[in-house]
Amino acid sequence: MDSDSPAGQSMSHWLQFSSLELLVGIADHGSLSAGARAAGMAQSNASRALKTLERRLGYALVTRKTSGSTLTAEGVLTVQWAREALAGLNAFSAGVRSLAEHGNKELEFGASMTVAEYLAPSWIGQLHEKLPSVIPRMRIMNSHDVIQAVEQEQLSFGFVETPQLPSSLRSREVFRDEMLVVVSPAHPWAGRKDPVTLEELQETALIEREEGSGTRAFLNSLSAVERAKPIAEFNSNATICQLVAGGMGPAVLSQLAVENQLKQGALVEVPFAGPALMRELRAIWREERALNANERMLLGIAINQLPRS
């Protein structure tokens, strides 16, 4: 009997999960080269891995043509089983990682500027009341950098305010934030009777957050055309508020960032002609990863503060 066949030895001794990922990639993308890219495998290695898998299974999985690769009837069934096996492996990996992290006494997470300044302090306070032995460590950066850190596994968990998220990440809404157009009391817009239009915002130079911030990304997502170049860019909401109050120009900022200045009369809200400028602040983590107990606690605290519509 061929010792290289399934009957010759236990499949657990020779089956490589990377070969199953390759097979699923071929099924999803229609060619060996595309399947190899999806599995993160060199094409030369992919061809060899596929031949080895077919030899050890004892039947052909793929019919190769110049136009691409198609699954055999046996290949279709095998891909279905491969998906189930990979899903089980991912669940196993996520589960054991979650158990290993359960006793972790530190909670490190990333937070975009608006979340870090106006929401996270309350969340951290509540977390300390519930889990006093846990030491929270918050890394403050803009939304782009939080996303990049989570994608690259520098962080496992974070909060962002950008409307566009990669498909590799899972997310959960934690807060619905309204953006307001604000000016100084001396600005011409402060006394206008007609609401400012989206076209006006697009054509008006604003004091803005830096590229990569969720606030900047939200404004860009509203516009189908290129917006006017900013008067200035800063990575601090507080700095922008001070400059707007000083008469440098208008800005569009989170209501969280401007509510105190509005109450004090340092800023004036300009009505907007259209639906409220609402955005979602979201928690993010990698698709294949399960949140540990501390992260689930922080996420639950944040979600419980979600305003009811």
Mean pLDDT in order along the chain per 10 residues (309 residues): 53 82 90 87 89 91 83 91 87 66 76 94 93 92 95 95 90 94 96 91 94 90 89 93 96 94 96 92 92 92 68
From CA 53, how far away is CA 79, in angstroms rounded?
A: 12
- What is the reported pLDDT for 309? 40
From CA 277, how far away is CA 214, in angstroms rounded?
A: 13
CA 258 to chain centre: 26
- What is the reported pLDDT for 170? 93
Report the candidate in 215, 205, 198 with the shortest Cα–Cα distance to residue 249.
205
The token pair at 24 is: 């699923």
Q: Is the dihedral of CA 23, 26, 32, 34 positive or negative?
A: negative
- What is the reported pLDDT for 7? 47
CA 308 to chain centre: 23
**pTM of the prediction?**
0.64
- What is the reported pLDDT for 96? 67
- What is the reported pLDDT for 169? 94
From CA 297, how far away is CA 294, in angstroms rounded?
A: 5
- What is the reported pLDDT for 70? 86
- The answer to whether 56 and 19 have CB atoms below 8 angstroms apart is no
- What is the reported pLDDT for 173? 94
Q: Which residue is listed with tokens 């419980």?
A: 304
